[in-house]
Amino acid sequence: MSDKSNPHIVQSPPEESFCAGCDSCEIICALAHGEAVSPARRRLFVRRDIRTMYHTVFTCRHCDDHPCYNACPKKGAAMRLDGCIAYIDDAECVGCGACARACPYDPPRVNYDRERKLARKCDLCRTREGGPACVEWCPVRCLSLLEIASEVE
Amino acid sequence: MSETTNSYGYVGKIARINLTTRTVTEIPTSRYVPENIGGRGVCNRIFWDEMRPGIAAFDPENMIIYMTGPTTATGIPTGGRGVFTGISPNSYPEQYAWSGIGGSVGAELKFAGWDGFIVEGRADAFTYIYINNGEITFRDAEPLRGLLVHDTQRAIAELHGGEVQSFVIGPAGENLMRNATITTSNDNVAAKSGFGAVFGAKNLKAIAVRGTGDVSAADIPKLFELRRRMGSPSMRKNPLVRELTHGMDGNEIPVEGGWLRGQVSCSHGCNQHCNRLMLDMKSAFGDGRVNQVEKCVGIFAYGFQEDCSWTPIQNYETERNHFLACKMLSREEPEPDTDDPHFDALFTKVRGDILNFWKPDFDKGSVMMDMCNEYGIDKWDVIVWFFTWLSMAKSEGLLDNLDFGMEVDVESEEFVRYFIEMIAYRRGEYGRIFGEGMARAIRILGKEQYGDALYHGRVSQVTGERLDLPVSLETAWGHSYHWQGRGFEGTINKPGWVATSLELMNSTRDAQTVAHHHDKYENYLQFKDDPCRSPLLVDGVILSENKAEIKDSVTCCDWQSPDLYWDSLEAEMFAAATGIPMTTEELNRAAERSRLLFRAILIRDFGRTRDMEVAAIFPTMRYPDASGETVEWDEWNDLVDIYYTKRGYDLTTGFPTRETFERVGLPDVAERLYPAEVEP
């Protein structure tokens, strides 16, 4: 995989703003994309630690070489590129899950519901005026858009 | 609404889970909604329809009902809360009660396609229930037996994946300790009703839920408007803060090196973060450190020399000065409007009584909290009742003949560990007795000697006088004082505690958890001199009671509702979730229906009458408040008359009249409660 990622959503360090564990980002993500609220429709993931209550928000890094896009059997139709953003066209997606399997991260940053054959991934709310909705609506402002390309950790 | 069809707000079905027969059946939610709204409103209807007199809390016939509301999982703020109801083992006597809970199980349950569940029967082997979308199965819980709360949660996550959400009990619930909690994520608990012990009686360790389905609100633009407006101002950073001291008003303690404070939300989709997370605290188990949530009562575990102070703005508000309760714990109160002509009166703090229960001790407090969390015990009763009793009874020399196996010393961490473990596991004679909860333990020991004896160590900071108090801080229905003029959070003045006591009288458990009393200051000015003869005060009580029903039904949070200057808030939430138009008046009518069902259950199954409830509450107000005030028999009964009249109850029996039931569309309830000749 490429050692570069592109602008993406990042979580603040706790000393700057501590994730309150409210899941608002997941909810808003689905709503901002015109969908119902559902774990299957979120495009970022709050991994809860029920003991420490340090919650981690996993987001798509928008890899420079976008392996999810390359793995799509209908790339250019079901998986498309808008600059550095690989995004899914729901109407064209057949739900094969290849994009999720190709994601180099753990957990995969493509949300794939095998049963319902639904694949969802972050598109940085590319058509939304005002940018990513999760950033705008996080009640504790612990999410932000990292604008510059960065080294993959 | 068609049966079992998904619709906005609701997902369409309720699971009836029978542990005896290991069967699951579906009930269409539309059987109960929208008339009963959701949450507690639906629970009350189900309980009324299905239960009968003569059932005890630990009988297999007792049912635990859990319901979400139409806002749950939609993204409407605070809708993540849900409600358990059933016969409470912690109420004295056992009665039908409720317990709210946050966390994410409610949302996950709706993602799984269920608006709620009814658990009935008793499993013949130790069991947990796994709800995986539409499939509900009964699993062997023997490997989970005896596990602490967080170990249970961890084990369930290992079995079913990190996304699973769960309700679990700890050892206290397994041992039928009557203060046992049901616990979920972020240390959220259903505590006061002791439903954890009902899980234990049913041989039920946990309910784990995984769902991947959809939940839709009807009006998304409105949902976003609510997110913007509720809890405003919001949307600011939430940094971890190193605090150098802990406690307040006479209980402050410097903490060497400081302690780290975070703020977390309690439930799915909330827009606030009022729960205080204390990081890297001393654990009761091993040498490790733990992070734990502290809510309002927890702060007194660390030191309890002086009672909580009271500032009138906590109860009485003006248009220029009112803010949400959740802003207090997150320390985000807005700047007060000092130009408000009532500013001084609203913001003048009244210091609490000197009580001298125990000195500040940061590590001991943390151990006490951790043990409650891990054993699954209601912190409230441990902090406010068990240990205050131990302190006062010791001070008055009442414990000389009781051999607990260790010298009673509430200042000692070793004794704190010993006593909490004793009651959680019900070890020995006194473990068995105190595992019954304080109300029952005091009666087993002898109430006159061990409950009603006076503590001579209370000094009012209002009058400077010694004001004696019973060593057992018992108020009505097996619960301890809560914003009632004496005991814990006792500093509120008479017009306030008259109102909260009336709310408790009509309840079966502490009402000041979802019905924290609020009224307008302009009203207060009219009733403050003679509160027991004020119809206006009663209007405020009815408002608080009805709003409590609404909050637990829509659902929304007591810390954001009511907003006295945004009366339609909950109706707007309901309409945004369901798409069903709703006015404030219509929602209030639904709240009245829910309360009437509750009262009908109490009359039918638990013998509730006016005499019974007045007798339960009146003695608790005979002890002086911080100003030395009490209530007289006649004035209290005058207040009850006003309340009953406004509610439409018979003044002699306290039974709602037939007309009252019919007025809100419950003629069937009247018909069943008063068959033929039995008129109230």
Q: Structure tokens of B74?
A: 């939609």
CA A30 to chain centroid: 11
- Please judge whether B264 and A17 are an interchain contact, meaning their C-beta atoms are less than 8 angstroms apart: no
Q: Where are the alpha helices (DSSP H) in B426-568?
A: 428-434, 438-445, 447-450, 494-505, 521-527, 535-554
Give the helix/strand (H/E) hosting B188. Answer: strand B188-190
Instruction: Please give the residue of chain A at the shortest CA–CA distance from B267.
Output: A22
**Which residue among A24, A38, A50 places its CB closest to the CB of B214?**
A38
- Please judge whether B264 and A18 are an interchain contact, meaning their C-beta atoms are less than 8 angstroms apart: yes
Summarised one tens digit per residue, pLDDT across range B113-167 is 999 999 999 999 999 999 999 999 999 999 999 999 999 999 999 999 999 999 9
The predicted structure's pLDDT at residue B295:
83
Q: Cβ(B148)–Cβ(B286) under 8 Å? A: no
Residue among B316, B57, B22 at smallest CA distance from B173: B57
CA B438 to chain centroid: 17
Residues of A in contact with B74 (CB under 8 A): 37
Instruction: Please give the residue of chain B at the shortest CA–CA distance from A54.
Output: B291
How far B619 CA lies from chain A's nearest CA (Å)? 43
Whether A23 and chain B come into contact, CB under 8 Å, resolves to yes
The predicted structure's pLDDT at residue A151:
57
Q: Per-residue DSSP letters for B6-69?
A: --SS--SEEEEEETTTTEEEEEEGGGTTTTT-SHHHHHHHHHHHH--TT--TTSTT--EEEE--
Residue with the two structure tokens 């209002």: B462
A–B interface: beta-carbon pairs under 8 A:
125
**Which residue among A21, A24, A47 places its CB closest to the CB of B264?**
A21
Domains of chain B with bracketed CATH? 13-210 (3.60.9.10)
How far B244 CA lies from chain A's nearest CA (Å)? 16
Average pLDDT for B271-287: 94
Residue among B512, B521, B520, B514 at smallest CA distance from B487: B512
**Which residue among A15, A137, A142 places its CB closest to the CB of B227?**
A137
Distance (Å, whole) CA B324 – CA B233: 10
Average pLDDT for B524-550: 98
Q: What is the DSSP letter of B233?
A: S
- Please judge whether B235 and A138 are an interchain contact, meaning their C-beta atoms are less than 8 angstroms apart: yes
B254 has pLDDT over 80: yes
Residues of A in contact with B262 (CB under 8 A): 14, 18, 53
What type of residue is A137? W
Distance (Å, whole) CA B514 – CA B495: 19
**Which residue among A39, A40, A50 places its CB closest to the CB of B153?**
A50
B397 has pLDDT over 90: yes
Distance (Å, whole) CA B106 – CA B115: 8
The predicted structure's pLDDT at residue A50:
84
Summarised one tens digit per residue, pLDDT across range B612-637 is 999 999 999 999 999 999 999 999 99
**Residue A140: partners with Cβ closer than 8 Å, 6 or more residues away:** A17, A18, A19, A20, B236, B237, B238, B263, B273
Residues of A in contact with B272 (CB under 8 A): 139
Instruction: Please give the residue of chain B at the shortest CA–CA distance from A25.
Output: B269
Distance (Å, whole) CA A146 – CA A144: 6
Residue among B464, B482, B460 at smallest CA distance from B388: B482
- Please judge whether B265 and A21 are an interchain contact, meaning their C-beta atoms are less than 8 angstroms apart: yes
Q: Structure tokens of B380?
A: 């409230």
Cβ count near A76 (within 10 Å): 11
Instruction: Please give the residue of chain B at the shortest CA–CA distance from A140.
Output: B237
The parts of chain A modelled with pLDDT lower than 50 are 153
B3 has pLDDT over 50: no
SS (H, E, C) B80-148: CCEEEEEEECCCCCCEEEEEEECECHHHHHHHCCCCEEEEECCCCCCEEEEEECCEEEEEECHHHCCCC
- Please judge whether A31 and B224 are an interchain contact, meaning their C-beta atoms are less than 8 angstroms apart: yes
Residue with the two structure tokens 């009930």: B27
Summarised one tens digit per residue, pLDDT across range B202-239 is 999 999 999 999 999 999 999 999 999 998 877 889 99
What type of residue is B635? E
How far A15 CA lies from chain B's nearest CA (Å)? 5
The predicted structure's pLDDT at residue B333:
85
Residues of A in contact with B227 (CB under 8 A): 24, 137
- Please judge whether B273 and A20 are an interchain contact, meaning their C-beta atoms are less than 8 angstroms apart: yes
How far B119 CA lies from chain A's nearest CA (Å)? 25
Distance (Å, whole) CA B636 – CA A131: 60
Whether A77 and chain B come into contact, CB under 8 Å, resolves to no
Distance (Å, whole) CA B64 – CA B184: 16
Instruction: Please give the residue of chain B at the shortest CA–CA distance from A27.
Output: B75
What three-state secondary structure class fits A9? Answer: strand
Q: What is the domain partition of chain A in residue ranges?
A: 4-151
Q: How far from B521 is each of B315, B322, B517, B547, CA to CA, in Å?
A: 8, 10, 12, 18
Q: What angle do CA B371, B376, B380 make, to 5 degrees?
A: 80
Q: Which CATH architecture has domain A4-151?
A: 2-Layer Sandwich (3.30)
Cβ count near B296 (within 10 Å): 19
Q: Structure tokens of B610?
A: 């006016």
CA B230 to chain centroid: 22
Q: What is the DSSP letter of B487?
A: S
Q: For residues B187 and A132, which has the higher predicted lDDT (pLDDT)?
A: A132
Partners of A47 in beta bridges:
A56
Q: Residues 83..142 of A with a Cβ closer than 8 Å to B: which?
A: 113, 115-116, 137-142
Average pLDDT for B281-285: 97
Average pLDDT for B591-599: 98
Distance (Å, whole) CA B219 – CA B578: 8
Partners of A79 in beta bridges:
A75, A88
**Which residue among A48, A138, A142 places its CB closest to the CB of B185?**
A48
What three-state secondary structure class fits B408? Answer: coil
How far A69 CA lies from chain B's nearest CA (Å)? 25
Selected for mutation to probe chain B from A117, A140, A142 (highest B CB count within 10 Å) is A140
B4 has pLDDT over 60: no
Q: Per-residue DSSP letters for A50-82?
A: TTT---EEE----BTT-HHHHH-TTBTTTEEEE
Partners of A86 in beta bridges:
A81
Instruction: Please give the residue of chain A at the shortest CA–CA distance from B150.
Output: A51
Residues of A in contact with B111 (CB under 8 A): 38-39
- Please judge whether B272 and A12 are an interchain contact, meaning their C-beta atoms are less than 8 angstroms apart: no
Partners of B245 in beta bridges:
B254
Whether A14 and chain B come into contact, CB under 8 Å, resolves to yes
Across B615-658, the runs of DSSP E, i.e. the strands, are: none
Q: Cβ(A103)–Cβ(A126) under 8 Å? A: no
How far A118 CA lies from chain B's nearest CA (Å)? 11
Q: How far from B27 is each of B5, B117, B600, CA to CA, in Å?
A: 12, 9, 23
Residues of B in contact with A50 (CB under 8 A): 150, 153-154, 157, 185-186
Give chain B's mean pLDDT: 96
Distance (Å, whole) CA B381 – CA B438: 8
B2 has pLDDT over 50: no
Q: Cβ(B308)–Cβ(B489) under 8 Å? A: yes
